[in-house]
Structure 1
Amino acid sequence: MAHTTRRAGRGAAPLRESAGTVAVIADAGGFALMRRYATFRFTDHPSYLRQTEGLLRALAGRHGHTSVALFDPVGFAEFCEREGLHPDSPASRARYTAEIAARGATVPYEGQPLARLVPDLLAEQLRWETWEAGTDLLAAAGSCADCGAPQARCAFQRAAALLARVLEGTRPGVHHLVCSLIAETGPLTAALHAGRGPDGSLDMAEPEAMVLCTLLAVGLATGDPGGLVLRSGSPGQGQGEEVRGWSLQLGRLRGLSEAEVFSAYCTDVRTGEPVPPEHGVAYRAADDLPPAGCPEP
């Protein structure tokens, strides 16, 4: 566990106008790896988490903003070797915390218990890793064969246009989109939560949309297989949930039929055996989405 603080300049209230970051070891396996360092004096993971939560509460009372990052013991050892630091040192742990806070995934601490904060942090870390993998794959895809622009720009803008088309057809309610891709480097998944108001307004988290568009862009640029699933519901309106899906093949999104969506949701992916359909869920056919054209140069 380590934390860093960025202080304000002279003349300001330095404690209230500073920002602190705490890096937390989320799992017992990672905690066991840190026990090899003599300066890491925690004896068990549950008490470590309790003390970390106490530190967060104290920092939140002193600073205007406190965030939490994920402390990866393997990444820490690699960081120390790369930077020529001694790993058995609180100062080295603080340096690593500052590094991951500057370039990695963090979540704000707002008084929530670690039992709720850690899953959010792990989800944010997964989004960050997916975005990094996607941007690397887009960069490696080179230029668009049609317009000559870098795929990182062309394919991403085409993916954003396709996402907009998918969301344009949604009714007021809550919508959950999942994009999955079997990339050369392995499977990747991104999710997006969106809400459409009665007036047609659309509310969604920009970081989630960015990662999903990046993953969809990789599929458009490389032709890697994947899929897009839209699950929609209207809480309080007496309507059940609806599920639609698209297959991503050879850089195109093909709408799945009702039977194909039903088969995908009602088949155990590990055994191939059928599973009962969810109560109150309707499986709907999705329209084909014509390829989005290259953006204007």
Structure 2
Amino acid sequence: MTGILTSAEDFERARAWHLTDAPDFDAYLLDTAVLLADALRVFGSVQARMFHPEDFADFCLLHGLDPAESASRDRYLVNPPLQTQLLPYQGEELGGDFVPRLVRAREDGLTLCHADLLLDGALCGTVGAEGAEPDPGVRVLYERASELFRRMLVGAGCGAYELRCAVEGPGGRLEAQARILHWEDGVVRINDEELDLVRAVLCAGLYRELPGAALLHGIQGSAASCGEYRPVAWGWRSTGWDWTPSALHLDEVEAAPGFSLGSVC
């Protein structure tokens, strides 16, 4: 497992801890890429997560650790509550999409932890409040959340989309987004971590009966439809259980009322 600094600002903040001998952030990324390639060749499987200076400093303060000690960094990286922030490294260019994905993975991991709290520990299989076992009914609602997402995609048809959803929970809003390629043969391409987050947020909304909103927008169509493409944006709202078509504005995107999810098989 490797922790990666994801910005020049974070690199400068971490200088005092002597995490690397690189003179600047660009050199650091090059050195890190070499280390990752070597590890991938030797071990065959490598996982990485964002090394967040504030998170690390807070972790050391909480556990009475010296941030300059390598053992402190190791404990921070293997901290179980942070495992939701891990991404598999498969040889990607760090300067491309991988570093931004690490940043999103941290943000998404925090959202997953929030959702797990609302689900009384059932999402990650942890023990609930006062030692109670997680509610087995959460699994049923997780499947319902997956079905809601599936119906949105089936109703939309083939195309390239982005889904954004949010529920208003205790402790703040839970948000998720996912980029989706839906081919004309029904195959759907989506990052696993984005899919997991969407289902977790929708499930938490169902379990706690929280108000929420979802927006699916992008380009509908495919080469099989004679190259006919058109921009679309559909919206739905929930008062806690049923999701119904609704015009909405979410993250600077305007959407018309979506199709009835109950009419999609």
Corresponding residue number in structure 1 for 2:3: 23
In structure 2, the CA distance between the partners of 1:186 and 1:38, relative to structure 1 (3 Å rule), is same
Corresponding residue number in structure 1 for 2:51: 71
For residue 23 of structure 1, report the CA deviation from its aligned partner: 1.0
Deviates more, 1:166-175 or 1:92-101: 92-101
In structure 2, the CA distance between the partners of 1:85 and 1:179, relative to structure 1 (3 Å rule), is same
Supply the distance in 1 between the matched residues of 2:87 and 2:35 (Cα, whole angstroms).
16
In structure 2, the CA distance between the partners of 1:34 and 1:199, relative to structure 1 (3 Å rule), is closer
Which residue identity lines up with residue 198 of structure 1 in the other structure?
A: E
1:128-167 to 2 correspondences below 5 Å: 128-139=109-120, 152-167=138-153
CA offsets, 1:88-139, max 9 Å, x none? 2223323433447982422233333222221121122222222221121122
CA contact (8 A) 2:161 2:217 kept: yes
Supply the distance in 1 between the matched residues of 2:69 and 2:137 (Cα, whole angstroms).
43
For residue 228 of structure 1, report the CA deviation from its aligned partner: 0.8
In structure 2, the CA distance between the partners of 1:54 and 1:203, relative to structure 1 (3 Å rule), is closer
CA offsets, 1:43-83, max 9 Å, x none? 54333333223322333444423332211223323434455
For residue 229 of structure 1, report the CA deviation from its aligned partner: 0.9
Structure 2 gap segments, 5+ residues each: 123-127, 129-134
Supply the distance in 2 between the matched residues of 1:251 and 1:60 (Cα, whole angstroms).
45
Q: What is the TM-score of this pair, normalised by structure 1?
A: 0.68
Corresponding residue number in structure 1 for 2:125: none
In structure 2, the CA distance between the partners of 1:241 and 1:139, relative to structure 1 (3 Å rule), is same
CA contact (8 A) 1:35 1:42 kept: no
Corresponding residue number in structure 2 for 1:108: 88
1:1-297 to 2 correspondences below 5 Å: 21-37=1-17, 41-99=21-79, 103-116=83-96, 117-139=98-120, 152-232=138-218, 233-236=220-223, 237-256=227-246, 260-261=247-248, 264=249, 284-289=256-261
Higher Rg: 1
Number of equivalent positions: 246
SS at match of 1:139: coil
Structure 1 gap segments, 5+ residues each: 1-20, 143-148, 270-274, 278-282, 291-297
